[in-house]
A and B are shown apart, each in its own frame.
Chain A
């Protein structure tokens, strides 16, 4: 990163290669189309190149790049009225996810099938739900890191994560179909 900040193009190229897939995944989670996500991907790395000397090392390079991507996504994605389903009572979310309902037969799936099912269920979620799952459960960012990146408080982040997981479980039960 220090070499990239000094204008070393090879070092910057290596940095792009290491993190491009993760940046695109977050961009895809935060936007409503592949084309928009691709714009975010490109502009995030252009901004990273221009402002590489602004990286202070307070976070990992990956987290810094994801924060840039999140800011770029906020500019291209039409503003949304918060998280539309955030006021749904917890017991309703839980019931959709299978809490307290009659058990369904165990569905053993091969790992590949399970992965595909998870990806399909992710697609049916809102941008807000996808983003928190990508940052916390896939990228493994800490709660404070993800909260800062999404510009929400830690308590709100925890609530959002729990609800996103429940909605993902509900989508898995529905076979990935959105309930909206």
Chain B
């Protein structure tokens, strides 16, 4: 990454626990999905213990992903009119192709 975090409106990017905030941000998805090697995970966990900015943002990231998975897991039922047009199209197709 070459751009200046301060230009991006970021208050800080510091090294804590042997790893920088920006690297932690980069690894958040893998951390959440348990795909990090043990050494990197331990580094990030040490960083999160001592960097309240990243700890707070990591919590918000995990909470957002959990909300998507929980609250949006079930798709909305089809609108009645959409359902009717789908049924009509399939009736036509089933007549023609079998």
- By size class, the interface of chain A is 35 or more
- By size class, the interface of chain B is 35 or more
Q: Total A-B pairs in contact (CB under 8 Å)?
A: 134
CA distance A45 to B97 in the complex (A): 13
Partner of A114 from the list B1, B2, B71, B78 (CB cut-off 8 Å) is B71
Asked if B22 and A91 sit within 8 Å, CB to CB, the answer is yes
Nearest CB to that of B28 among chain A residues? A162
Q: A111-B71, A140-B69 are in contact. Are A95 and B90 (CB under 8 A)?
A: no
**Chain A residues close to B by CB (< 8 Å):** 7, 9, 12, 16, 20-22, 24-25, 38, 41-42, 45-46, 49-50, 89-92, 94-95, 97-103, 111, 114-115, 118-119, 122, 133, 137-138, 140, 158, 161-162, 165-166, 168-169, 172
**Chain B residues close to A by CB (< 8 Å):** 1-3, 5, 8-13, 21-22, 25-26, 28-30, 53-54, 56-57, 60-61, 64-65, 67-69, 71-78, 82-83, 85-86, 89-90, 93-94, 97-98
